[in-house]
Amino acid sequence: MFAKKTYVERRETLKKSLGKGLVILLGNSDAAINYAGNQYAFRQDSSFIYYLGLDAPDLAYVLDIDHNKEYLFGDELTIDDIIWMGNLPSLKERAEKVGISDVKPLSELASVVGAAVKSGQAVHYLKPYRFKNQLLISELLGKNPGQVQKDFSLELTKAIIKMRLIKSDEELAQLANAGQTGYAMHIVAMKMCHPGVSERDIAGVIEGLAISAGQGVSFPTILSMNGQTLHNHDHSETLKEGRLMLCDAGSENLEHYASDFTRTTAVGAKYNARQESVHNIVLRAVNESIAMAKPGIAYKNVHRNAYRIIFEGLREMGLTKGDTEAALEAGAPALFMPHGLGHAMGLDVHDMENLGETLVGYDDETQRDTMFGYASLRFGKRLEPGHVLTVEPGIYFVPQLIDKWKAEKICADFINFDRLQDFYDFGGIRLEDDIVITESGCRLVYEKRLPITIEEIWDAVNG
Ligand code: GLY
């Protein structure tokens, strides 16, 4: 948790930015796995963490801007809670640590919100992503649950996005801390990347490291020889010489900040010529994207430039053909990289995706594209100092997608479909680092970059 001042100042900034109305910010509750008493690990809502820092279930915060008041709603622990789950300082004491003096039982939330509605105050709330909070808002405001999802406050959402997108130095230190664990996870994955080792063993060991160091993984681990499946959570195979292992994994640290790295390692670090060529194209794309990212440049343009590098690199290998600009216009590189170059990262691995991916990553000036591939870019707008983003180009050979494009003659002027037959068993290569935009350019969020060249990966695997 940060110092009290941090939370007080954040709420003050939010108050000034909205100017009037009543804000309801709901924390999360425990969620059942297979029966009520067997629960998933509790995860607090990230905006609640950002403004309140309180990491416990069943809390709600109300900021009454019109009357310059704020309340925390929640219940003190019962003797049963203490017997089964342990003791904690009182809620009042915990609230004081984040600068809140007015604590009320949860049962009083309805009357405070009801009075505000009755007096005509504008009520701001975020679009709920958990049914329990959707139903709670529904009850508090007397709206049906469907309407609750439509009537969320765009003003509040935009105000929060604006604040959370710019990371402070104390947040950057937390992100670097999450990065340290992510680093350790990937080094271990590389060391284990030898023939005969099961994917599940490696995934289990690296997820264990994330649990030992913090809250666990920041998203379900992607670790597979079938890296052409972008979010492959299946770990059922055993590593074989001649194949690639794509590992996209990260940790969430104790303060809930994320890391997200990808490395693709040839089993035993023995790259064949095709794998080496594709690796080096992706390496060029990640390095040039990092070199290009700086304040004022739209990330959409960095994505397009990565597509350029991929298209031209594959043209040298004989897999694509034709004019680069025309191919970029037609969206040809999306056959090989159907995802975006990166996303914002912070308290969520896809930062604030619950508030709306397009609201986070685009604005009036930079609109989201609709074309396949470009449309998947989660963050396209101009970069500003303090933005934290992933840079994660990749090249994949998805047989079903190649067959579809070939059959439908999509981008046929730019793709050598016949040459692609030899790549159906290739898998995919993705390389991903996390950057923060500075005043003059960008830097990696963490001190030490994971091995990324073929020589560095060889040393990590066999050293
Ligand atoms: N690293 C997983 C993702 O960005 O979705």
Q: Does residue 211 sit in the same domain as residue 105?
A: no
Host H or E run for residue 434: strand 433-437
Q: Smallest Cα–Cα separation from 54: which of 67, 66, 45, 65?
A: 45
Last residue of a domain, one of 142, 165, 188: 165
Q: Does residue 128 sit in the same domain as residue 220?
A: no
Q: Which amino acid is at 362?
A: Y
Query: Which of 185, 186, 231 to mutate to test ligand 1, by most ligand atoms within 8 A of the CB atom?
Result: 231
Q: Does residue 159 sit in the same domain as residue 259?
A: no
> How many Å apart are CA 204 and CA 207, to the nearest integer?
5
User: Which atom of ligand 1 is the closest one to the Cα of 260?
Assistant: 1
Q: How many CB atoms lie within 10 A of CB 82?
A: 11
Q: Does residue 62 sit in the same domain as residue 179?
A: no
Question: According to the model, what pLDDT value does residue 447 have?
Answer: 87
Domain that holds residue 116: 4-165
Query: If you measure from the C-alpha of residue 438 to the centroid of ligand 1, how many angstroms do you get, rounded to a whole number?
Result: 23
Q: Does residue 120 sit in the same domain as residue 233?
A: no
> How many Å apart are CA 393 and CA 371, to the nearest integer?
18
> How many Å apart are CA 196 and CA 9, to the nearest integer?
54
Q: Does residue 342 sit in the same domain as residue 377?
A: yes
Contact assessment for residue 175 and residue 434, using Cβ atoms and an 8 Å cutoff: yes
Cα 331 to Cα 138, 305, 320, distances in angstroms? 43, 12, 12
Query: If you measure from the C-alpha of residue 376 to the centroid of ligand 1, how many angstroms do you get, rounded to a whole number?
Result: 12
Last residue of a domain, one of 165, 185, 217: 165
> How many Å apart are CA 212 and CA 204, to the nearest integer?
12
Query: If you measure from the C-alpha of residue 290 to the centroid of ligand 1, how many angstroms do you get, rounded to a whole number?
Result: 18
Q: Does residue 20 sit in the same domain as residue 70?
A: yes
Last residue of a domain, one of 165, 195, 212: 165
Tokens of residue 387, six digits = 């933005």
Q: How is 93-111 classified by DSSP, letter by letter?
A: HHHHTTT---EE-GGGHHH
Q: Which residue, chain included where needed, has tokens 């003797």? A: 79
> How many Å apart are CA 414 and CA 130, to the nearest integer?
44
Question: According to the model, what pLDDT value does residue 205 have?
Answer: 98
Query: If you measure from the C-alpha of residue 402 to the centroid of ligand 1, how many angstroms do you get, rounded to a whole number?
Result: 23
Q: Smallest Cα–Cα separation from 247: which of 314, 299, 307, 186?
A: 186
Q: What is the CATH number of the domain that holds 406?
A: 3.90.230.10
> How many Å apart are CA 60 and CA 125, to the nearest integer?
11
> How many Å apart are CA 327 and CA 311, to the nearest integer?
8
Cα torsion angle, 375, 298, 335, 432, sign: negative
Q: How many CB atoms lie within 10 A of CB 12?
A: 11
Q: Does residue 101 sit in the same domain as residue 181?
A: no
DSSP 8-state assignment for residue 126 = P
Cα 262 to Cα 21, 205, 396, distances in angstroms? 43, 16, 14
Q: Does residue 308 sit in the same domain as residue 439?
A: yes
Question: According to the model, what pLDDT value does residue 85 have?
Answer: 87
Question: According to the model, what pLDDT value does residue 299 have?
Answer: 98
Query: pTM for this one?
Result: 0.96
Q: How many CB atoms lie within 10 A of CB 248?
A: 25
Q: Which amino acid is at 264?
A: T
Query: Which of 264, 286, 349 to mutate to test ligand 1, by most ligand atoms within 8 A of the CB atom?
Result: 349
Query: If you measure from the C-alpha of residue 260 to the centroid of ligand 1, how many angstroms do you get, rounded to a whole number?
Result: 7
User: Which atom of ligand 1 is the closest one to the Cα of 248?
Assistant: 1
SS3 assignment, position 50: helix
Q: Residue 66: which residues within 8 A CB-CB, separation 6 or more?
A: 20, 21, 22, 121
Tokens of residue 430, six digits = 């993705």
Q: Does residue 224 sit in the same domain as residue 334?
A: yes
Mean pLDDT, consecutive 10-residue stretches, the chain (463 aa), reads 98 98 98 96 98 98 98 96 92 98 98 97 98 98 97 98 98 98 98 98 98 98 96 95 98 98 98 98 98 98 98 98 98 98 98 98 97 98 98 98 98 98 97 98 96 98 95
Burial 23-44 (b: 16+ CB within 10 A, else e): bbbbbbeeeeeeeeeeeeeebb
Q: Does residue 310 sit in the same domain as residue 386?
A: yes
Number of domains in the chain: 2
Residue owning the nearest CA to atom 2 of ligand 1: 248
Question: According to the model, what pLDDT value does residue 172 have?
Answer: 98
Contact assessment for residue 34 and residue 28, using Cβ atoms and an 8 Å cutoff: no
Q: Does residue 396 sit in the same domain as residue 380?
A: yes
How large is the angle between the packed helices 131-141 and 109-118, nearest 10 degrees? 50
Q: What is the CATH number of the domain that holds 57?
A: 3.40.350.10
Ligand 1 pocket by Cβ (under 6 Å): 219, 248, 260, 343
Cα 324 to Cα 170, 212, 305, 320, 430, distances in angstroms? 43, 47, 11, 10, 22
